[in-house]
Structure 1
Amino acid sequence: MVEINRRNPKQARARATVDAILEAAFQVLDSDGYAKFTTSRIAKRAGVSIGTLYQYFDDRDAILVELSRRYSDALREKITQLLLDEPNMSTVRLIIRAAMQGVQGSPETQLILSNVVFQSQGGKEVSRQHFTFMESFGQREEFGFGLGKEASFILTHTVIYLLRATIAEPELELDPKILEDELVHLMESYIANLAERAGYVDGQPPLK
């Protein structure tokens, strides 16, 4: 098989073409579903030839992987933005809200992209999200005590996997506002228990 040299989108026009293809791909996925997520539909929606599309992506799976990467990056950007916009919001609520609102699209679209993230990057991506969450915690001093790596693991992975389950089960018709509150109560209860076990009272360190 002849190896095709894929064009590296360095030039502004090339980057604009890639962005147009990815935006069209998201629209096709969100409106038509995965069954109709084809390169021909994407190229038509983007206003480019199928040959142009293949200059940048090998197939629809390659497009999905790039969409999933942007999906994951959007979550981290949302957390960073909320840290700046909502300095008085609890870190737990901030992270949960960012995770719930960080991406666009239907529950089906979010589930597809989330699955691709895990299939293409697996535990590596969960770890990236974990460290993003922990960095957010580290920027705020509301807890008054350090979180051990085991407690940090439980705290962040509970959020990640519960929200994945939420996306995977839209038939439950969970109320987003109530769900946010319940997740916050769950996480803050765990943190309060950690503080109690560490001997902290009202955020103050134990007396020596």
Structure 2
Amino acid sequence: MTDKPRRNPKQARAQATVDAILAATFQLLEAEGATKLTTNRIAERAGVSIGTLYQYFEDRDDILAAMGERQAEAVRQKVTEIVLASPEQDSIRTIIQAIMSGIEGSPETRIVLMDALFKARGESVLSQHHIAFMSSISDRSELSFALGRESAFVLTHAVVCLLRASAAEPELELDPKALEDELVLLIESYLAGLAARSARMAG
């Protein structure tokens, strides 16, 4: 590892180098897993020198975190496009679909990237999903009650944490479509429960 400041990939050639490093890392994760992943192997697969790699990334974990951040950003962009393009549709389902499809790779790869992202950015990762969920349901006419901080926490964290658990337990062989249906049911049922509680308290 080097103490030199990392370069900001503003130019097209530099961005292409970063893209090659991230692509090589993904390929190695998919083929061999995280245990054999080293910066030397990444540099070799990407076709760059180890010195060039360290100009952009501090270490292996920094590369993994960058991959996780890139995929998280893709999820946020997809969620935004869905909500803006089709606000009248089932926003809960489309948000869940976007989150489920946002992290690429095998279950093992997804866990590695998610762990790296959580390690690098902490709770801000879940906060982004929180904002997406709140935006998607804010204009729903059936929500005649205000979501408290704790209720909003349950709504956003339940989905993300359950999806992480499903990736961490591939031996359960969960069907993605069936899991999607269950997550939609979970969130919609919880929203209905909140509405019913609010009505009882108002009465």
Question: What's the TM-score once normalised by structure 1's chain length?
Answer: 0.86
Q: Is 2:192 aligned against 1:192?
A: yes
The one-letter code sitting in structure 1 at the alignment partner of 2:131 is F
The one-letter code sitting in structure 1 at the alignment partner of 2:142 is F
- Aligned residue runs from structure 1 range 87-102, under 5 A: 87-102=87-102
Contact 2:2 2:58 in 1 (8 A): no
- 1:178 aligns with 178
The one-letter code sitting in structure 2 at the alignment partner of 1:37 is L
Write the distance in 2 (CA, Å) between the matches of 1:122 and 1:158.
16
Write the distance in 1 (CA, Å) between the matches of 2:191 and 2:2.
57
- 1:162 aligns with 162
The one-letter code sitting in structure 1 at the alignment partner of 2:191 is I
Identity across matched positions, percent: 54
SS in 1 for 2:185: helix
SS in 2 for 1:198: helix
The one-letter code sitting in structure 1 at the alignment partner of 2:151 is A
- Aligned residue runs from structure 1 range 58-137, under 5 A: 58-84=58-84, 86-137=86-137
Call closer, same or farther: CA 1:31–1:82 in 2, change over 3 Å. farther
Question: What's the TM-score once normalised by structure 2's chain length?
Answer: 0.88
User: Unaligned 5+ residue runs, structure 2?
Assistant: none
For residues 28-54 of structure 1, the C-alpha deviation after alignment (integer angstroms, 9 at most, x for no partner) is 112221012111221122122222112
SS in 2 for 1:43: helix
User: Unaligned 5+ residue runs, structure 1?
Assistant: 201-205
- Aligned residue runs from structure 1 range 4-83, under 5 A: 4-83=4-83
39-48 or 102-111, which deviates more: 39-48
8-17 or 123-132, which deviates more: 123-132
- 1:143 aligns with 142
- 1:203 aligns with none
182-191 or 124-133, which deviates more: 124-133
- Structure 1 residue 148 displacement after superposition: 2.4
Aligned positions, number: 201
